[in-house]
Amino acid sequence: MLFSPPLKSKEEAVAPSIYTRSQYLFDQQRHAIYVRTDKLFACLFLFQWIGASVAAVLVAPYTWEGTTNTIHIHVWQAIVFGGIINSLPLFLIWKQPGMLLTRQTIAIAQMLWSGLIIAVSGGRIETHFHVFGSLAFLAFYRDWRVLITASAVTALDHLLRGIYSPGSIYGVQVAEPWRWLEHSLWVVFCDFFLLISIRFSLRDMQLMAHRQAELESSKNSVEQEVITRTAELKLSEQNLRDSEATIRAIFETAADSIITIAENGTIETANQTCEKMFGYQFHTIFGKHISFLIKQIGEDACTEDGWVKWRDNCRFRRTALRLEGVGLARGRVEIPIEISLSFVNLNGKKLITAIVRDISERKEAERRVSEFYSIVSHELRTPLTSIRGSLGLIEGGMTGDLPIETLELVNIARESCDRLIRLINDILDLKKLEAGKFEFHKMEIAPSELLGMALAFTEGMAKERGIRLEQGWTTEHPVVADTDRLNQVLVNLISNAIKFSPKNGTVELSATIAENAIRFVVRDQGKGISKDQQHKLFCKFQQVDSSDKREQEGTGLGLAICKAIVEQHGGAIGVESDTDKGASFWFTIPVSSGEFYKPTEDSADPSYVVVIDDAKELGDLLNKHLLPSRCRVIHMQNSEDAAKVIAERVPDLVIFNVSRSDERDLELQEQLRALYSVHNRPVVLFTNSAAGLEIPSPVHVEWHKRPVREEIVVRDIKRAVDFSNCPTILVVEDDSGTRKTLVHQLGKYGIRCLEASGGEEGLNLIANENPELIVLDVGLPDMNGFDFVKRLREEHSCKSLPLLVYTGRDLTVTERRDLTIGFTRYLTKSRASESDLVNAIDELLEKVRVDVEAKADS
Amino acid sequence: MYLRRSARMALLFGLWLTLLFFGTFVSLNYEKTPARVAQAANPIAPNSSTLPDTAKEFQLLMFAHPQCGCTKASLAELARFLSRNNNISTRVYFIVPHSYESWKDSETVKSASRIPGVEVTVDYDGVIAKSYQAAASGECFLLDRKSSVLFHGGITGSRGHEGGNAGLDQISAIVRSNSRLTANNAVYGCALFDAKDK
């Protein structure tokens, strides 16, 4: 194994291609060495041949016989015998260089040359060095086999000539029989070192071949990598070009203007849409300040200073800033725009990208939608309000007692009207909430007050259905909210709870503080809602039971509206429930950061109230509610005693629960009439029907059907105390039905109404009749409500007139501002109940009264 | 195809080896072929004046061709012998035909002249050589004081080859033993005379 190639290393084992390649390179190199050495030997053979011939000629060219000479046989020997020796190896070198046979023939021939030279020299020992020189020369092949052959030939030559011609090999006539062995051993000695040299040389060659193979492999890998990377790079470049082309196409064909702006506000790039939108060629706007194209962003003018503010605003935002504004097209034409500003950092270059959209059409559409809503609001709500009001009056017996069947039909009609109004209101509310156009009139309010209001609204419904409402622990920490809207949410949740609670069930209310929010909870004892149905509760037109057989009516919009209202207050809404375990609807409203709410003290003077009722129920009820208002309540169980008491001291108010016997008590009637006419004191009658009483209309503050609703009784009593003087108000309403209904409704409360069907007529009445308050509809035929108010402002005497705007439209803040004059309140038809209307009128008149007194005092 | 090629190569190789053997044979045969000389020389020197120095115990005469290359080997052996034996007077006769006067200045003559103890004498037209019946270059005669021929022959083992040989061994033995034995040996060298002169 001395001359075998190196064993495979681990690396070679795992990289067979390198090993194979190294073997190939090694073999190639060996072959090249063989061919090269063959050529060297060819030269050597020729040199030896010529040299021997020349030497023969020079030393002894002739052989003599006296004076006659012939060519010396040595000369022939050198030429012919040398030629024979050279012939075959030269032929093989020519025909098949690098082959083993050629090498072996060369080895034999070369050793024959050594033998020839030794022989010619007569066995001179010095010429034996030719043998060693020849072996060294043969070692050029780095092939141990040629050395073996050459050595064998030499040994054989020594052996044979030692026997047959020792003088020609050893220079002696008689040689020892072992002498050839001695010479051969010296040859072997020489071979030993040459073989070692060959081994090392082969190993080095193998190593170099292996390294070259590795290098080639690395080079191939690198080249392959370069090719792959180059291909990838080309692909990436192509993709980049495609991407750039795509982006450029998108940029240029985008429906919106895309402008990149430097930090200092100068325009750097703009797409074709920008050119079309603003009417400028790009080269005319390049480098100009953005204020050249944008006049206003949001509410701010886009000046150079204003731009800095928006730029800094963009820089610290993660998302784009989207605002409406005003653009300036060619000719300084203003166009409404929506502008999205975003900050871009491109390798240190800071830019603002502005995407500008022309929203002229959208604005127009919005205007049309708004107009549509306005029309719908007005045209639907106005007649429905009239219908409801009229039905309410008929139902209340204003037109006289109705047959039971008729009364039931009227009741159905009124309730259906209510439902229709609720549906319209819900749809309109939801539309506005979704569009984000719902305006909230937020104020600080205590949760307890919110719950109280909601309870007052729903108490009657609860009693009708035999449901008990219980208010649990309630925090006094205030929230900032739109009272009406939050009340709407609570009423909706409580109504639902009542509707779905079993008879004699309980609905619990609570408001607790939790994590900077007030958590309102309405818990019922209904059949609960399964988990898989809870997710659709707050969706539009969704009801847990949507079948035709469902027990409870509803539009399916209530909870969706509640969700929108709560979310726009920054809160959340949800439900916790399980089947047959009731449901807990909850919502949260962030707490107010202000101080705790402090309820205002009632500044009304203590009032002396006489209650005439054969039962104690009404007296207790009034005591409960009126004591906090510092009212003193005297309860009389019969009309005789009552007459005596009234005679002793004139009460501020008489509450008379009229019975059939009382209808015939002429003395009491006369006393009450005197009470009103002489002492100008109101009387409140509770009766199923007042038809039998002959009491002047103004005294009839309210008819209440039993069972009595506490909050309404309290409200009416409070109002009655203040109705010592009948106010005169002007109702400006183009819809005659609504107008008449209003007049009738207000007339019940002793309010004298002046009627005007248009603005001009209304202004004339104001000038001639001096009404104390104006109830104004916005949509008037000859002039709208805004113009009407504008005209009022122009009249100095009218500037302090209290105004109740009573319209079917949901007014925006701006519209409210434009409709404000002096003390002004706003009610929406169909949303506001009759009591809301009367309360608002009360409130406004009270404010005027307080204001007048304050001025008088000062 | 491969077999045909191998056969052709084998034939070629065989032919080559044959020629090599033949050449070797011819060479060896030439080298081992002695010159034709008189088998029995005169037992007494024909003329004492031809002897170099009779005072010495032995006289050695060598006849040589001035142009013979093989004689250089004989001269080399002679020089080696004389370096070890100084009781021998030695004379080398170079046969120079009158018409080849320049031969007396040949390289062989000069080299013989440089051998210590050797007296070089030109033997015009080979008169002396003929008197001794010498015929080949390198042919030697060892004589004692009485001019008796003790040895006759060459002092190389083959043509042109130096090295130990029987002739020199015999001369050495005669000189060393001081005996009167006679001996003959083959002579390897060029002919001294043309064939027609023999």
| In a shared domain, residues A84 and A194 | yes
Q: Is residue B182 part of a domain?
A: yes
R_g of chain B, CA atoms, integer Å = 21
Tell me which of A138-152, A686-700, A759-773 is least confident: A686-700
Residues B109 and B158 in one domain: yes
pLDDT level of residue A106 (50, 70, 90 thresholds): very high
Q: How confident is the model at residue A687 (pLDDT cuts 50, 70, 90)?
A: low
Interface-testing mutation among B161, B188, B192, B193, with chain A (most A C-beta atoms within 10 A): B161
Q: Is A790 domain-assigned?
A: no
Of B99, B161, B190, the CB nearest to A64: B190
Q: Is A857 inside any structural domain?
A: no
pLDDT higher than threshold 70 for residue A660: no
* Residues spanned by the domain of B97: 48-197
Whether B90 and B126 share a structural domain:
yes
Q: Which of A433, A461, A478 is the last residue of a domain?
A: A433
User: Does residue A626 lie within any of the structural domains?
Assistant: yes
Q: B14 and B61: one domain?
A: no
Q: Which of A173, A174, A179 to mutate to test the interface with B (most CBs of B within 10 A)?
A: A173
Q: Of A381, A408, A433, at which residue does a domain stop?
A: A433
Nearest to A151 by CA among A118, A176, A121, A185: A185
Query: Do both B154 and B123 map to the same domain?
Result: yes
pLDDT at A751 over 80: no
> B195 and A112: CB-CB below 8 Å?
no
- Of the candidates B69, B73, B194, which has its C-beta nearest A67's C-beta? B194
Please indicate, yes or no, whether residues A558 and A478 belong to a single structural domain of this protein: yes
Contact B95/B123 with Cβ under 8 angstroms? yes
A583/A640 same-domain check? no
**Candidate from A68-82, A201-215, A820-834 with smallest mean pLDDT:** A820-834
More confident residue, A139 or A516: A139
Q: How far apart are CA B170 and CA B154, in angstroms?
A: 11
Residue A537 has pLDDT above 60, yes or no: yes
The region of weakest confidence among A242-246, A390-394, A622-626, B177-181 is A622-626
We report the CATH number of the domain holding residue A700 as: 3.40.50.2300
Minimal CA separation from A201 to chain B, in Å: 31
Select from A60, A66, A122 the Cβ nearest to the Cβ of B163.
A122
Q: Is B88 inside any structural domain?
A: yes
Indicate the residue of B23, B70, B137 with minimum beta-carbon distance to A81: B23
User: Tokens 């001369």 appear where?
Assistant: B171
Q: Are A67 and B191 inside 8 Å of each other by CB? A: no
Sheet holding A267-270, edge to edge: A267-270, A257-262, A349-358, A333-346, A321-329, A294-297, A300-301
Domain that holds residue A160: 10-218
Same domain, A138 and A273: no
Residue A201 is predicted with a pLDDT of 93
pLDDT of res. A596: 36
Same domain (yes/no): A547, A617 = no
Q: Are residues B164 and B138 both part of a single domain?
A: yes
Least confident of A141-155, A204-218, B151-165: B151-165
Output the average pLDDT for chain A.
80
**Cβ separation A88–B70 shorter than 8 A:** no
Of B24, B28, B191, the CB nearest to A66: B191
Q: Does B41 reside within a domain?
A: no
Contact: A173, B157; criterion CB under 8 Å = yes
Query: How many angstroms separate the CA of residue A82 from the nearest CA in chain B?
Result: 9
Q: Looking at the structure, do residues B61 and B154 belong to the same domain, yes or no?
A: yes
Residue A439 domain flag:
no
The domain total for chain A is 5
Interchain pair B23, A80: CB under 8 A = yes
Residue of B nearest to A165 (CA): B28
CB-nearest to B191 from A64, A80, A91 is A64
If residue B45 lies in a helix (H) or strand (E), which one and from where to where? Answer: none
Q: How far is CA A354 from CA A118, A248, A350, in A?
A: 105, 16, 13
Residues of B in contact with A111 (CB under 8 A): none
Residue A30: per-residue pLDDT = 92
CB contact under 8 A, A66 and B97: yes
Q: Are residues B25 and B52 located together in one domain of the fold?
A: no
Strands across the sheet with A506-513, in order?
A468-474, A506-513, A517-523, A583-590, A572-577
Query: Same domain, yes or no, for A136 and A274?
Result: no
By C-alpha distance, the chain A residue nearest B67 is A64
Mutate: best of A62, A65, A91, partner B, most B CBs <10 A: A65
**DSSP helix/strand/coil, A651:** coil
* Helix H or strand E encompassing B118: strand B118-124
DSSP A591: B
Q: What is the mean pLDDT of residues A547-554?
A: 54
| Whether residues B66 and B150 fall in one domain | yes
Answer yes or no: is B39 within a domain: no
Of residues A462 and A621, more confidence is placed in A462
* Chain A residue with Cα closest to B195: A65
Using one digit for the tens of pLDDT, what is the confidence trace for A337-393? Answer: 999 988 888 888 888 899 999 988 888 887 787 777 767 767 777 788 888 888 877
pLDDT at A131: 95
Under the banding of pLDDT at 50, 70 and 90, the label for residue A47 is very high
Min distance A71 CA to chain B CA atoms (Å): 12
A88–chain B nearest CA distance, Å: 7
Residues of chain B in contact with residue A101, where contact means CB-CB under 8 angstroms, are 9
**Selected residue of B22, B24, B103, B162 to mutate for chain A interface (largest A Cβ count, 10 A):** B24
Are B49 and B81 within 8 A, CB to CB?
A: no
Residues A609 and A573 in one domain: no
**Interchain proximity A173–B164, CB inside 8 Å:** yes
Report residue A700's pLDDT band, with 50, 70 and 90 as the boundaries: very low
* Residues of chain B with C-beta less than 8 angstroms from the C-beta of A87: 16, 19
pLDDT at A555: 67
Q: How far apart are CA B65 and CA A87, in angstroms?
A: 36
Report if residue A72 sits inside a domain: yes
Q: How confident is the model at residue A675 (pLDDT cuts 50, 70, 90)?
A: low
H or E, element range at A177: none
Cβ of A60 and B31 within 8 Å? no
pLDDT at A697 (0 to 100): 42
Question: Would you call A369 helix, strand, or coil by DSSP?
Answer: helix
| Per-residue pLDDT at A323 | 84
Percent of chain A with pLDDT over 90: 17
Q: What are the contacts of A537-543 at 24+ separation with CB within 8 A?
A: A537/A575, A538/A562, A538/A563, A538/A573, A540/A430
User: Does residue B163 share a domain with residue B134?
Assistant: yes
What does the pLDDT average to over A94-98?
Answer: 91
Reported confidence tier of residue A6, pLDDT bands at 50, 70, 90:
very low
**Contacts across the A-B interface (CB distance below 8 Å):** 106
B60 in the same domain as B22: no
Residue A556 lies in a domain: yes
Same domain flag for B102 and B130 = yes
Same domain, A115 and A194: yes
Record: contact A68-B68, CB cut-off 8 A: no
Query: What is the model's pLDDT at position A711?
Result: 59
- A contacts of B70 (beta carbons < 8 Å): 60, 63
Q: Which of A451-460, A583-592, B47-56 has the lowest mean pLDDT?
A: B47-56
pLDDT at position A605 is: 45
A56/A48 Cα distance (integer angstroms): 12
B137 falls within a domain: yes
Q: What angle do CA A613, A610, A729 make, to 5 degrees?
A: 110
Phi, psi of A504 (to 5 degrees): 65, 15
Q: Enumerate residues 605 to 644 of chain A having a beta carbon within 8 A of any beta carbon in chain B.
A: none
| B179 domain-assigned | yes
Q: Into how many domains does chain B fold?
A: 2
Res A45 pLDDT > 80: yes
User: In this predicted structure, what is the pLDDT of residue A373?
Assistant: 72
Min Cα separation B78/chain A (Å) = 15
ipTM: 0.85
A472: CATH:
3.30.565.10
Q: A84 touching B, CB under 8 A?
A: yes
| Chain A residues touching B16 at Cβ < 8 A | 84, 87-88, 105
Phi/psi region, residue A330 (left: phi>0; alpha: psi -120 to 50; beta: rest), is beta
Over range A170-186, report the average pLDDT.
86
- The shortest CB-CB distance from A64 to any of B65, B158, B160 is to B65
Percent of chain A at pLDDT above 70? 81
**A340 occurs within a structural domain:** yes
pLDDT band at A61 (very low <50, low <70, confident <90, very high): confident
A467 and A585 belong to one structural domain: yes
Q: Name the residue with higher pLDDT: A306 or A546.
A: A306
Q: What is the CATH number of the domain that holds B161?
A: 3.40.30.10
| A528 and A466 both lie in a single domain | yes
Instruction: Identify which of A222, A274, A281, A272 has the alpha carbon closest to the alpha carbon of residue A248.
Output: A272
Which ranges of chain B have pLDDT less than 70? Answer: 1-3, 38-50, 52-54, 197-198
Q: Which of A397-401, A532-536, B136-140 has the highest mean pLDDT?
A: B136-140
Place of tokens 């209808």: A663
Cβ–Cβ contact A128 with B under 8 A: no
Q: Do A165 and B31 touch (CB under 8 A)?
A: yes
Task: Please indicate, yes or no, if residue B38 is contained in any of the structural domains.
Answer: no
Same domain, A66 and A142: yes
Task: Determine, yes or no, domain membership for B12.
Answer: yes
A721 pLDDT higher than 60: no
Q: Do B30 and A167 count as a contact with CB atoms less than 8 A apart?
A: no
Residue A48 has pLDDT above 90, yes or no: yes
CB contact under 8 A, B161 and A171: yes
Domain-embedded: residue A773: no
Written as one string, the DSSP assignment of A334-355 is EEEEEEEEEEEEETTEEEEEEE
Same domain, A559 and A521: yes
Q: Which of A62, A65, A87 sits opposite B16 (nearest CB)?
A: A87
